[in-house]
Chains A and B, each alone.
Chain A
Amino acid sequence: MSTAIPYTSEPRPDTGVHNVKLGIWLFLASEVMLFGSLFAGYILLRVGNPAWGAGQGELSVPLATLNTVVLITSSVTMVLAWAAAMELDKTKFRLFMGSTVGLGAVFLVIKYFEYSAKFHHGIFPDHSTFMAVYFTFTGLHAAHVVAGMVYNAYLWLPNAKMMDSDPRMFANRVEAAGLFWHFVDLVWIFLFPVLYLL
């Protein structure tokens, strides 16, 4: 018997999914618990601290709003990239996946300006518990953005030739990358009001 693993790209008939799809959903379940723990910690710290919010006035709501728009747009281009991968249209795939990676970079650049403005005013994570939460949560989110961008860039340029050799597997990879990217987007949708507005 060969060592080939079954259902790497074909769905298993009785479960209806292929291995990668199940794997990425399980990973996201774990990520939900990670960010869920962080948000639970945020609630406990906030209700237990009468001096909550020191430094919140320094945050830039317009920049964060812009970043929200950037990330949501990148989720749209991600879906379009997946659709292009399903239609085996490599030009469109390259365009949309490139846009997704580019928008991720725009997000990080804006984030960089936000961070450096804080540092410029002498506000670091040890300024207050609020700023500790702000830097830690957004920092962890930014790390997820970087991870997503690295994998998306891999699919965008070196891996895209797989569209010719194993299109089904390639579409699966794009789908998994897309699920992760939407999750990262979703985390930001929670972070934005919690940190900037509430």
Chain B
Amino acid sequence: MVSDIQSEKLAHEHPEQHEELGFLRKYWFSVDHKVIGIQYAITALLFLFFGFTLMMLMRWQLAYPGEPLPLIGSLFGETRMPDGVMLPEFYNQLGAMHGTIMVFLGIVPLAVGGFGNYVVPLQIGAPDMAFPRLNMLSYHVYFWGGVIMLASFFAPGGAAQAGWTSYPPLANINPVGQTFWIVGMLFLILSSLLGAINFITTIVQLRAPGLTWFRLPFFVWAQFVTAFLLLLAFPALQAGGIMQLMDRVAGTSFFMPEGLVVAGEVVEVSGGGSPLLWQHLFWFLAHPEVYVLILPAMGIVGEVIANNTRKPLWGYKALVYSALFIGFMSFIVWAHHMFLTGMGTVMSAFFQTTTMIISIPSVIVLTCLILSLWGGSIRFNTPMLFALAFLPMFGIGGLTGLPLGLASSDIHLHDTYYVIGHFHYVVAPGTIFGLFAGLYYWYPKATGRYLSEGLGKIHFWLTLIFMNGVFFPMLVQGLQGVQRRLFDGGVTYAHAQDVLWLNELMSFSAWGLAIAQVPFIWNFFASLKTGRAADRNAWGATTLEWLAPSPPPHGNFVTEPTVYHDPYEYSVPGMEQDYLPQHEPGPGDEGPGEGAPEPQPAGA
């Protein structure tokens, strides 16, 4: 009786085992983590491209301030670009929305929603995420958050224009686009929250037999820490968002000081609020957010490097402990974004100390990844090229951050292009290179075909050159004192004159970067049909996702995998092939039993 009911229940919950699903259920309202991962990835790639387009428009204005944009300039309408000349208000919208879209709608959904969703359940040998319907919901909430953000461009007065940080009081008195921004952001926060609960539960509960914590691939660890950051840091911005929404809609004064004068008139509010409170709440999220951006990329790079050096990652345990320590420390460094707010030297001293401390585990991660190359017979395929380029690019991004973490040097560099250069080195040639490495690496798993190596290499080299062409001059301009967020790129400033010519170089690099993506886009679609067919273990890799068929069916594995050893058993002495998958017992393995000896750290 009971089993009858249960099988009925199964049939009810998993009709896919019995019948073909309609198009909507299969591709739009899917509960399969792989479909949801691909939904996330494609949506996020489109948002990345859109956010990049906004920036290309800004780069025209910066290179040729006040000149009409040829050909397409007149398409934007009188309220944005009369006669093709960009209005400052529109420039501000582009700037605010570029940041918001790239971070919250592009990179995080691609790194966590896309790669995390697709790869984590496969790497831990699970049939799906722990809460499949919650997973579907989190994608749809993200999608509608994105729609609201896009819709804000058509609101009266345009989209949000107070920067991606939305500092009040400016954000409080801006046109209604800012309200769209807050509501969209609350959707994105909810989506991340649901996703984070799902990831942590999945990793804790659904690991295959024998897959102990220190046998997890580094990518899974990176996603695990990332999920905790999303879970615990985002609520601060949620609280801030609710307060800002109240300020804008109900006329409260959470962030409004008394006697604020706007356009010559005193604003009629009760006052008594604190603009600084928003900055604390915002950065309490937004600093951990930086690690949300970088940790998944580090995880991908770790996977790709181990696979293509054909040896275990150097210092696997050090990597894991560093990721955990980064996660913990990232909650107590936020006010290093606020050295200039006058919060006092004691606060500054505390936060610059914690900031110096958090740089240590980041350096350990980078060092372990570099030392992993030592003595390896490296395969220079496209994923590996992106992973290798990640190391020096993230290195530049990290090291240029140190002067910003110290109050005395930050006073000079704050709000200059140096900050923009630093941050973009971390996120663009840093994280995005990691994500490209992941796209090239796992594409054969998701489609059963390789991406073309030739096009991939063209894509890589052009992207590398143009990325540096965009971002390195920013560091130079910033050291010269050119401020960020100037809609004319600094032409009216005497101290900027010597470095103004760099604006043109950066703009042409940005447009070149767009052209450099053409081989990738072509490759991405063409390889679906014409790419070289890939084996289920496309790269001769050791982790569990390569045991599943390519592409994996609903439920992932034909039989439940059992794990026998560490994640990166490459070039095991005495074996004929140069890799020993986690699910295959190797020479001297007894089995996955409970009392199995704790495996030694890789490379020890």
Q: Is A30 in contact with B231, judged by CB distance below 8 angstroms?
A: yes
Chain A positions 34 through 57: 1 when the CB is less than 8 Å from some CB of chain B, otherwise 0? 101110110011001101101000
Q: Bound state CA distance, A25 and B254, in angstroms? A: 30
Within 8 A of B (CB), among A114-154: 124-129, 132, 135-136, 140
CB atoms of B204 and A15 under 8 A apart: yes
Contacts A26-B197, A128-B270, A132-B252 known; A34 to B235 CB distance under 8 Å? yes
- Which of these binds chain A: B110-118, B152-160, B276-284? B276-284
A41 touches B281 (CB 8 A): yes
B200: min CB distance to chain A, Å = 6
Contact present for A2 and B281 (CB under 8 Å): no
| Inter-chain contact A7/B206, CB cutoff 8 Å | yes
Which among A12, A49, A165, A166 is the interface contact of B205 at CB below 8 angstroms? Answer: A12
Contact-residue bracket for chain B:
35 or more
Q: Is A197 an interface residue (CB 8 A)?
A: no
CB-based contact A37/B250 at 8 Å = no
Are A6 and B206 within 8 A (Cβ)?
yes
Q: In the complex, what residues of A have CB within 8 A of residue B270's CB?
A: 54, 126-129, 132
Which of chain B's residues have a CB closer than 8 A to the CB of A49? 272, 274
User: Does B585 count as interface, using CB distance less than 8 angstroms?
Assistant: no
Contacts of A7 in B (CB 8 A): 130, 205-206
Q: Does B67 contact A (CB under 8 A)?
A: no
Q: Find the B residue at minimum CB distance from A55.
A: B270
List the B residue with the shortest CB-CB distance to A3: B555
Tell me if B560 counts as interface (CB < 8 A to partner A).
Answer: yes
Question: Is B131's CB within 8 Å of the partner chain A?
Answer: yes
Cβ-based interface call for B16 (8 A):
yes
A135 CA / B253 CA spacing, docked (Å):
12
Cα distance A3–B250 in the bound complex, in angstroms? 48
Q: Are B9's CB and A166's CB within 8 A?
A: yes
- B131: chain A residues at CB < 8 Å are 19, 23
B176 at the interface (CB under 8 A from A): no
Q: How far is the CB of A21 from chain B (nearest CB, A)?
A: 9
Instruction: State the CA gap A194–B276 with chains docked (Å).
Output: 22
Q: Is the CB of A3 within 8 A of B14?
A: yes
Contacting pair A125 B252 (CB below 8 A): yes
- Report Cα–Cα, A135/B271, bound state, in Å: 16
A198 within 8 A of B: no
Q: Chain A interface residue count: which class?
A: 35 or more
Interface membership of chain B positions 246-260, coded 1 if the CB is closer than 8 angstroms to chain A and 0 otherwise: 100011111000000
Taking a contact as CB atoms under 8 Å apart, the answer to whether B254 and A5 are in contact is no
Q: In the bound complex, how far is the Cα of B197 from the Cα of A75, in angstroms?
A: 25
Is B240 touching A37 in the complex (CB atoms < 8 A)? Answer: yes
Chain B residue at minimum C-beta to C-beta distance from A129 = B272
- Report how far A124 CA is from B269 CA in the complex, Å: 12
Name B246's contact: one of A36, A40, A136 (CB within 8 Å): A136
Q: How far is the CB of B417 from chain A (nearest CB, A)?
A: 32
Q: Is B377 among interface residues, defined by CB-CB distance under 8 A?
A: no
Interface membership of B128, Cβ < 8 A: yes
Q: Is A109 in the interface zone, CB < 8 Å from B? A: no
| In the complex, per-residue mask of A16-38: 1 if CB is within 8 Å of any chain B CB, else 0 | 01110011001101110110111
Q: A22 touching B559 by the CB < 8 A rule?
A: no
Q: A33-B235, A34-B235, A37-B284 are in contact. Are A140 and B17 (CB under 8 A)?
A: no
Interface 1/0 per residue, A141-174 and B, CB below 8 Å = 0000000000000000000000001100000000
Residues of B225-264 whose CB lies within 8 A of A:
231-236, 238-240, 242-243, 246, 250-254
B14, B277, B559: most-surrounded residue (chain A CB, <10 A): B277
Say how far B555's CB is from chain A's closest CB, in angstroms: 4
Distance in angstroms between the alpha carbons of A5 and B204 in the assembled complex: 13
Q: Which residue of A lies closest to B131 (CB)?
A: A23
B 278-300 binary contact with A (CB < 8 Å = 1; else 0): 00110010000000000000000
B558 at the interface (CB under 8 A from A): yes
Q: Which B residues are in CB contact (< 8 Å) with A38?
A: 239
Cβ 8 A contact of B252, one of A48, A51, A136: A136
Measured CB to CB, the nearest residue on chain B to A24 is B197
Given contact pairs A2-B17, A4-B14, A45 touches B273 in the complex (Cβ within 8 A)? yes
CA distance A2 to B559 in the complex (A): 9
B432 within 8 A of A: no
Tell me, rounded to whole Å, the shortest Cβ–Cβ distance linking A138 to chain B: 12
Smallest CB–CB gap between A159 and chain B, Å?
13
Contact A26/B251 with A3-B17, A136-B246 known, Cβ cut-off 8 Å: no
Contact at B254–A45, with CB atoms within 8 Å? yes
Name the interface residues of B314-357: CB closer than 8 Å to any CB of A: none
- In the assembled complex, which residues on chain A have CB atoms less than 8 Å from the CB atom of B17? 2-3
Given A1-B127, A19-B205, A129-B273, check contact A124 B250 (CB 8 Å): yes
Contact with B127, one of A4, A17, A22, A41 (Cβ below 8 angstroms): A4
- A74 CA / B546 CA spacing, docked (Å): 51
* Chain A residues whose CB sits within 8 angstroms of the CB of B271 once the complex forms: 129
Report the bound CA distance from A2 to B6 in whole Å: 14
13 contacts between A and B (CB under 8 A): A1-B556, A1-B557, A2-B14, A19-B205, A23-B197, A27-B197, A37-B281, A37-B284, A45-B254, A45-B274, A54-B270, A132-B250, A136-B254
- Nearest 10 CB-CB pairs, A to B? A132-B252, A37-B239, A126-B251, A34-B235, A33-B235, A3-B555, A129-B272, A37-B236, A125-B250, A49-B272
Residues of chain A touching chain B, judged by Cβ–Cβ distance below 8 Å, are 1-7, 12, 15, 17-19, 22-23, 26-27, 29-31, 33-34, 36-38, 40-41, 44-45, 48-49, 51-52, 54, 124-129, 132, 135-136, 140, 165-166
